[in-house]
């Protein structure tokens, strides 16, 4: 260490804070640029993760997804089936990139305190989800999931959902109509269908109940992807 006082590093960097800061910024930028730039380019040329067999979330599904985010569901439930035999047996076809194309934000999750939900859509009737949210142990004995009974009592605001749809349209989600009246009409028609399904199981609900939006989102998960892959797509 005899030459420490005159070392290259000492002369060039340690005495010059600005040089040190600039070179550090360059050093921490390279990895990110190499890994992220191709993603941005691919997304903007619509090549690698866009496909027409996935449609945007409907306003009611957007409302449900917002509730899913609010409650932190993604902290215990992943939405990413890995290409492994046991995963495919348990959850269904592994997840393709295009299935996430309208996911803002992405909700892949990082922990499975509960099962993966990528393809939960269509697996259970609407009434099952209603009961499961009210009391998870009623449908899944031994579950450690909290109860979400307030979803049954609380209502969403259609005007608020319209603002979400408008923001999603602004970042590039292809919606035909984003005005408040059109969004409210779509919410009411899709919500009405779920209310009908629930009433046939003896459950009374209204189209603007939060539970209805939540069921709409859960029931759409992975359905389009599964239909496409069952037909032999993506292979």
User: Is 76 near another protein (CB under 8 A)?
Assistant: yes
Sign of the C-alpha dihedral computed for residues 231, 118, 116 and 197 taken in this order: negative
Beta carbon nearer to another protein, 27 or 176: 27
User: Is 39 near another protein (CB under 8 A)?
Assistant: yes
CB of 27 to another protein, least distance (A): 5
Chain positions 149 to 188 lying near another protein, rule: CB under 8 A, are 149-150, 160, 163-164, 166-168, 170-172
Judge whether 158 and 184 are in contact, CB under 8 Å.
yes
* Beta-bridge partners for 130: none
CB of 192 to another protein, least distance (A): 25
Compute the C-alpha angle 192/220/183, nearest 5°: 50
Q: Which of 60, 80, 186, 205 binds another protein (CB under 8 A)?
A: 80
* Beta-bridge partners for 155: 209
Residue 105 CA from chain centroid, whole number: 6
Sign of the C-alpha dihedral computed for residues 44, 46, 48 and 51 taken in this order: positive
Beta carbon nearer to another protein, 63 or 195: 63
Beta carbon nearer to another protein, 29 or 200: 29
* Length of the chain counted residue by residue: 235
Orientation angle between helical segments 59-70 and 158-170, nearest 10 degrees: 100
Beta carbon nearer to another protein, 170 or 202: 170
Chain positions 44 to 63 lying near another protein, rule: CB under 8 A, are 48-49
User: Is 2 near another protein (CB under 8 A)?
Assistant: no
Helix (H, G, I), strand (E, B) or coil at 50: coil
Q: How far apart are CA 180 and CA 223, in angstroms?
A: 27
CB of 44 to another protein, least distance (A): 10
Query: By rule CB under 8 A, what count of residues binds another protein?
Result: 87
User: Is 140 near another protein (CB under 8 A)?
Assistant: yes
CB of 98 to another protein, least distance (A): 8
Q: Which of 4, 45, 47, 52 binds another protein (CB under 8 A)?
A: 4
Q: Which of 12, 29, 177, 201 binds another protein (CB under 8 A)?
A: 29
Q: How far apart are CA 218 and CA 148, in angstroms?
A: 14
Q: Which of 60, 61, 74, 127 binds another protein (CB under 8 A)?
A: 74
Compute the C-alpha angle 180/191/152, nearest 5°: 110
């Amino acid at each position: 260490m005899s030459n420490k006082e005159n070392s290259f590093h000492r002369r060039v960097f340690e005495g010059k804070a600005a040089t040190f800061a600039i070179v550090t910024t360059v050093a921490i930028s390279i990895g990110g640029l190499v890994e992220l730039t191709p993603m941005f380019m691919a997304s903007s040329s619509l090549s690698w993760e866009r496909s027409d067999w996935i449609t945007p979330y409907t306003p009611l599904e957007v409302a449900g997804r917002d509730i899913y985010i609010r409650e932190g569901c993604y902290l215990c439930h992943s939405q990413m089936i890995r290409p492994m035999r046991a995963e495919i047996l348990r959850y269904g076809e592994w997840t393709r990139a295009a299935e996430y194309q309208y996911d803002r934000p992405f909700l892949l999750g990082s922990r499975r305190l509960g099962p993966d939900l990528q393809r939960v859509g269509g697996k259970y009737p609407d009434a099952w989800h209603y009961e499961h949210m009210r009391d998870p142990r009623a449908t899944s004995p031994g579950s450690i999931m909290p109860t979400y009974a307030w979803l049954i009592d609380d209502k969403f605001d259609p005007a608020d959902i319209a603002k979400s749809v408008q923001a999603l349209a602004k970042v590039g989600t292809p919606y035909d109509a984003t005005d408040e009246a059109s969004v409210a009409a779509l919410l009411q028609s899709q919500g009405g269908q779920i209310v009908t399904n629930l009433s046939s199981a003896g459950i009374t609900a209204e189209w603007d109940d939060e539970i209805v939006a939540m069921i709409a989102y859960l029931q759409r998960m992975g359905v389009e992807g599964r239909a496409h892959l069952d037909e032999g797509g993506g292979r």
